[in-house]
């Protein structure tokens, strides 16, 4: 920022209230300076989270989702997931559906990108068809759950702008509170408030605010376990929708690291072969 | 003795490395027609049961697999719709950058909604549904190569499958009916034993997917010629000519837009022709503040053969709407209308489905055909407006 922009404009100096206005203006500038360091700190925390997860290579896991509607009725989803860490881009995710029975064998493939819209495909076993799907569906619920496609995509640092909001204690864990705003105008959220564990650098809680700024959902992650002496993964996450009264509980099991997966396992052309 | 022990151990280990799975579906459906048929032998309502189990086994760490998917349908009146088929009996070998296939299988090519011009490997199982989207299993030897310059598919298709057509008591058919009891007519003296070949190259560049394909062999789409059946009645007989077809397909996936194109150039003994389908699907996520997605579809369908075309689409426009509730029951609806630009011919279609339990779904389908004049492709379906309810159990 140049010195010119910091000097008081001429029209203010000329008027009687000039000293007050000048003070007010300078206060405003110093506020924006604080906001900037805040954004720097928020970004730094997000970077540290990504950095601590770097080098995980690839993982496989089983995922069980219990969808609960406002009246308490529950339905079950089962999937198996594979994740690949990409070198200079977002992660790649493959999910094979096991339940409900009518979608058994359906495969979802997502290539997350840092600087552009993600690529997504769906393999429909009844038709033997691999279908590329529009990235605009990122805000749509994943299999009718309270998780949208964008909630399940890897949270790349570049996809948000950040602000630091302070410290808090969550279930006895000292946490940083950061706020992130999606860069993509097609995102379903205006902002997210994230509680980050100060020791393990994992997300403990995320509050999602809808486009109109109203609180929409809260995600709480639990039972973090460490793998390979380094990488933390939650065993359970609960997403609660405050507007609809519905919730989804996800439970991961059999999380395995470094399963020898490579780029070739995440090609759309290979989806038909995935079981 | 020790060798036998080792062999037994090796065998036991290889068996334990086998993964296998049974799954499948059974369904019950009822089709009701709004009006009596043109042919007095036809009925107003048809009940039907179908089963399609699938057995799958893999070994060698998933490198090799075998899939067996038989299909059988029993229809209340239509003896042609009562039929069985091996949808899949396929051995697959998957290497690092290649795949080999042998047996009976199903292949899908293309991107558009209304019709699949480039999709020529499998024959259509027309008795299943007039939307021409069900397919018969195709005997094949196939190889796929995945390279940085795109994916290559090659198929040798050693045996031809004749299209199925509704029987005498069935609806949604031509008048007179197509007789499949009599021997079909072929251009090739080898008949159904003519070995066909198909190849396709596909590549993705960012938001763009392209494909080029080539087919040479017996045309899956028959020409229908007049004939006489064993009882001396007038029928139509399928005549399968030889076809060489070049196909082009492409899709651009840009934010809310899917832009789609399929085009073919066909060379047959009679003449050469061109056909194309081009259109888009625009998705409105979270339509009207709900969690539902609304898709708007439009396609233009062209065939240079005009009214002589073997399909009902020669200069038509399809307009449609796809609604996905994104609820726990995966409630979905697709409504389309195909309008003939040169006449008042209209084909309406509504398909909807919803999950009932972990293992069952219900689906409804209704189609109506209007405004056809004599000689137009849908004229014989003018009294065949129908609605169908189907319950499917998955295991």
Q: What is the pLDDT of residues A71-80, one digit of tens each?
A: 999 999 999 9
Residue in A closest to B64 by C-alpha: A273
Contacts of B294 in chain A (CB under 8 A): none
Distance in angstroms (rounded) separating the CA atoms of residues B41 and A269: 48
Amino acid B5: pLDDT: 66
Q: Which two tokens stand for residue B252?
A: 């651009």
Least confident interval from A89-98, A146-155, B89-98: A146-155
Residue A15 binned pLDDT confidence (cut-offs 50, 70, 90): very low
Q: What is the pLDDT of residues A116-144, one digit of tens each?
A: 888 999 999 999 999 998 877 788 899 99
A72 has a chain B CB within 8 A of its CB: no
Residue in A closest to B395 by C-alpha: A101
Residue A175's DSSP bridge partners are A168, A197
Amino acid A7: pLDDT: 41
Contacts of A71 in chain B (CB under 8 A): none
CA distance A33 to chain B (A): 36
Contact yes or no for A127/B125 (Cβ under 8 A): no
Residue A52 CB-density burial (10 A; 0-12 exposed, 13-18 middle, 19+ buried): middle
Distance in angstroms (rounded) separating the CA atoms of residues B50 and B29: 8
Residue in B closest to A132 by C-alpha: B253
Q: Which has more pLDDT, A19 or B213? A: B213
| pLDDT surpasses 50 at B18 | yes
Residue B286 binned pLDDT confidence (cut-offs 50, 70, 90): confident
Q: How far is CA B45 from the centre of its chain?
A: 24
Nearest to B361 among A102, A145, A269 (CB): A102
Residue B195 binned pLDDT confidence (cut-offs 50, 70, 90): very high
Nearest to A134 among B133, B209, B256 (CB): B256
Contacts of B395 in chain A (CB under 8 A): 101
Amino acid B270: pLDDT: 81
CA distance B162 to chain A (A): 20
What domains appear along chain A, each with residue ranges and CATH number? 52-273 (2.50.20.10)
Distant-in-sequence, close-in-space partners of A11: CB < 8 Å, separation ≥ 6: none
Please give the average per-residue pLDDT across B380-392, as a whole number.
96
- Mutation site, B328, B354, B360, B395, interface A, largest A CB count within 10 A: B328
> Hey, is B313 helix, strand or coil?
coil
Q: Is residue B319 part of a domain?
A: yes
Contacts of A134 in chain B (CB under 8 A): 253, 255-258, 281, 283
Amino acid B255: pLDDT: 85
Q: What percent of chain A has pLDDT over 90?
A: 69
Q: Is residue B2 part of a domain?
A: no
> Hey, is B67 helix, strand or coil?
strand
Amino acid A33: pLDDT: 45
Distance in angstroms (rounded) separating the CA atoms of residues A197 and B354: 42
Q: Is residue B11 part of a domain?
A: no
Give the structural domain span for B263: 19-394
Distance in angstroms (rounded) separating the CA atoms of residues A108 and A271: 8
Provide, for chain A, the percentages of residues in helix, strand and coil under a 3-state DSSP scheme, each rounded to the nearest 5.
25, 45, 30
Contacts of B360 in chain A (CB under 8 A): 102
Chain-wide mean pLDDT for chain B?
93
Question: Looking at the 3D structure of chain B, how many domains does it have?
Answer: 1
Tokens 């993509």 label which residue? A184
Q: Identify which of B163, B180, B270 has the alpha carbon closest to the alpha carbon of residue B227.
A: B180
| Contact assignment for B394 to A105 by CB distance below 8 Å | no
Residue B139 CB-density burial (10 A; 0-12 exposed, 13-18 middle, 19+ buried): middle
Q: Identify which of B337, B340, B348, B353 has the alpha carbon closest to the alpha carbon of residue B385.
A: B348
Contact yes or no for B300/B338 (Cβ under 8 A): no
Contact yes or no for B246/B213 (Cβ under 8 A): yes
Please give the average per-residue pLDDT across B21-45, as a whole number.
96
Contact yes or no for B177/B228 (Cβ under 8 A): no
Q: What is the pLDDT of residues B306-362, one digit of tens each?
A: 877 777 888 999 999 999 999 999 999 999 999 999 899 999 999 999 999 999 999
Contacts of A139 in chain B (CB under 8 A): 285-286
A residues 189..228 contacting B (CB < 8 A):
none
Q: Is residue B157 part of a domain?
A: yes
Amino acid B9: pLDDT: 59
| Contact assignment for B253 to A132 by CB distance below 8 Å | yes
CA atoms in the 13 A half-sphere facing the CB of A194: 25
Provide, for chain B, the percentages of residues in helix, strand and coil under a 3-state DSSP scheme, each rounded to the nearest 5.
5, 55, 40
Please give the average per-residue pLDDT across B132-150, as a whole number.
96
Distance in angstroms (rounded) separating the CA atoms of residues A191 and A182: 7
Amino acid B209: pLDDT: 95
> Could you tell me if residue B255 is left (phi over 0), alpha (psi between -120 and 50 degrees) or otherwise beta?
left
Contacts of B291 in chain A (CB under 8 A): 140-141
Distance in angstroms (rounded) separating the CA atoms of residues B301 and B318: 8
Q: Is residue B61 part of a domain?
A: yes
Contact yes or no for A136/A150 (Cβ under 8 A): no
| Contact assignment for B285 to A104 by CB distance below 8 Å | no
| Contact assignment for B253 to A188 by CB distance below 8 Å | no
Distance in angstroms (rounded) separating the CA atoms of residues A123 and B169: 37
A126 has a chain B CB within 8 A of its CB: no
Residue B111 binned pLDDT confidence (cut-offs 50, 70, 90): very high
| Contact assignment for B106 to A135 by CB distance below 8 Å | no
Q: Is residue B75 part of a domain?
A: yes
Q: Is residue B13 part of a domain?
A: no
Least confident interval from A220-229, B4-13, B158-167, B241-250: B4-13
Chain-wide mean pLDDT for chain A?
86
CA atoms in the 13 A half-sphere facing the CB of B370: 10
Q: How far is CA B378 from the centre of its chain?
A: 19
Q: What is the pLDDT of residues A205-253, one digit of tens each?
A: 999 999 999 999 999 999 999 999 999 999 999 999 999 999 999 999 9
Say which DSSP state B207 is in: T
Residue B193 binned pLDDT confidence (cut-offs 50, 70, 90): very high
CATH number at residue B246: 2.40.160.10
Distance in angstroms (rounded) separating the CA atoms of residues A266 and B99: 15
Distance in angstroms (rounded) separating the CA atoms of residues B120 and B218: 10
| Contact assignment for A127 to B392 by CB distance below 8 Å | no
| Contact assignment for B144 to A186 by CB distance below 8 Å | no
pTM metric for this prediction: 0.88
Contacts of A144 in chain B (CB under 8 A): 326-330
Amino acid A10: pLDDT: 40
| pLDDT surpasses 70 at A90 | yes
Amino acid A32: pLDDT: 47
Distance in angstroms (rounded) separating the CA atoms of residues B6 and B96: 30
Amino acid B126: pLDDT: 97
| Contact assignment for B23 to A101 by CB distance below 8 Å | yes
Q: Is residue B7 part of a domain?
A: no
Q: Identify which of A253, A198, A259 has the alpha carbon closest to the alpha carbon of residue A228.
A: A259
Size of interface A-B (CB pairs under 8 A): 101
Amino acid B62: pLDDT: 86
Distance in angstroms (rounded) separating the CA atoms of residues B370 and B102: 44
Amino acid B363: pLDDT: 98
Residue B317's DSSP bridge partners are B300, B339
């Amino acid at each position: 920022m140049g010195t010119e922009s910091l000097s008081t404009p001429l029209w203010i100096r000329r008027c009687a209230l000039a000293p007050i206005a000048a003070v007010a203006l300078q206060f405003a500038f110093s506020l924006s300076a604080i906001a900037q360091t805040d954004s720097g700190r928020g970004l730094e925390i997000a970077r540290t989270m990504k950095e601590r997860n770097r080098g995980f290579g690839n993982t496989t896991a089983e995922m069980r989702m219990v969808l609960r509607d406002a009246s308490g009725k529950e339905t079950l989803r089962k999937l198996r997931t594979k994740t690949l860490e990409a070198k200079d881009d977002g992660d790649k995710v493959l999910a094979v559906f096991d339940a409900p029975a009518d979608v058994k064998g359906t495969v979802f493939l997502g290539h997350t990108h840092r600087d552009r819209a993600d690529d997504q495909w769906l393999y429909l076993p009844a038709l033997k068809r691999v279908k590329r799907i529009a990235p605009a569906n990122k805000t749509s619920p994943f299999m009718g759950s309270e998780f949208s496609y964008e909630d399940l995509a890897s949270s790349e640092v570049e996809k948000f702008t950040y602000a630091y909001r302070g410290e808090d204690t969550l279930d006895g864990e000292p946490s940083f509170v950061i706020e992130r705003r999606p860069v993509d105008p097609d995102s379903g959220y205006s902002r997210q408030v994230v509680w980050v564990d100060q020791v393990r650098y994992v997300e403990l809680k995320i509050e999602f605010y809808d486009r109109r700024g109203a609180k929409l959902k809260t995600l709480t992650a639990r039972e973090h376990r460490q793998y390979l002496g380094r990488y933390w993964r939650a065993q359970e996450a609960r997403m609660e929708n405050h507007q609809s009264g519905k919730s989804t509980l996800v439970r991961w099991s059999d999380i395995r690291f470094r399963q020898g997966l490579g780029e070739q396992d995440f090609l759309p052309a290979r989806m038909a072969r995935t079981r | 003795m020790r060798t036998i022990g080792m062999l037994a151990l090796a065998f036991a280990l290889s068996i334990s490395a086998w993964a296998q799975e049974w799954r499948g579906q059974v369904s019950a459906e009822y089709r009701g027609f709004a009006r009596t048929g043109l042919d007095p032998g036809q009925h107003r309502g048809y009940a039907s049961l179908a089963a399609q189990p699938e057995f799958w086994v893999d070994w060698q760490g998933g490198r090799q697999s075998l899939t067996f998917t038989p299909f059988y349908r029993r229809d209340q009146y239509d003896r042609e719709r009562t039929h069985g088929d091996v949808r899949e009996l396929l051995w697959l070998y998957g290497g690092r950058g290649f795949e080999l296939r042998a047996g009976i299988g199903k292949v899908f090519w293309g991107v558009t909604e209304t019709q699949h011009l480039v999709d020529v490997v499998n024959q259509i199982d027309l008795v299943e549904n007039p939307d021409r989207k069900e397919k018969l299993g195709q005997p094949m030897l196939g190889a796929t190569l995945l390279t940085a310059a795109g994916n290559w598919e090659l198929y040798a298709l050693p045996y031809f499958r004749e299209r199925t057509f509704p029987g005498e008591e069935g609806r949604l058919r031509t008048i007179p009916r197509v007789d499949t009891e009599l021997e079909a007519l072929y251009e090739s003296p080898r008949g159904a034993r003519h070995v066909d070949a198909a190849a396709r190259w596909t590549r993705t560049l960012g938001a763009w997917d392209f494909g080029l394909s080539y087919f040479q062999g017996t045309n899956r789409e028959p020409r229908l010629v007049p004939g006489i059946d064993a009882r001396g009645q007038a029928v139509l007989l399928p005549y399968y000519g030889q076809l060489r077809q070049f196909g082009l397909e492409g899709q651009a996936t840009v934010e809310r837009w899917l832009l789609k194109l399929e085009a073919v150039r066909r060379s047959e003994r009679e003449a050469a022709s061109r056909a194309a389908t081009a259109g888009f699907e625009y998705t409105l996520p979270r339509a009207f503040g709900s969690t539902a997605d609304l898709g708007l579809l439009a396609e233009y369908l062209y065939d240079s053969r005009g009214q002589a075309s073997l399909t009902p689409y020669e200069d038509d426009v399809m307009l449609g709407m796809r609604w996905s509730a994104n609820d726990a029951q995966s409630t979905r609806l697709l409504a389309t209308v195909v309008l003939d630009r040169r006449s008042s011919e209209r084909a309406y279609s509504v398909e909807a489905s919803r999950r009932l339990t972990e293992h069952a779904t219900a689906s409804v389908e209704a189609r109506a055909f209007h405004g056809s004049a004599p000689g137009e492709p849908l004229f014989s379906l003018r009294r065949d407006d129908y609605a169908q309810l189907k319950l499917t159990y998955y295991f």
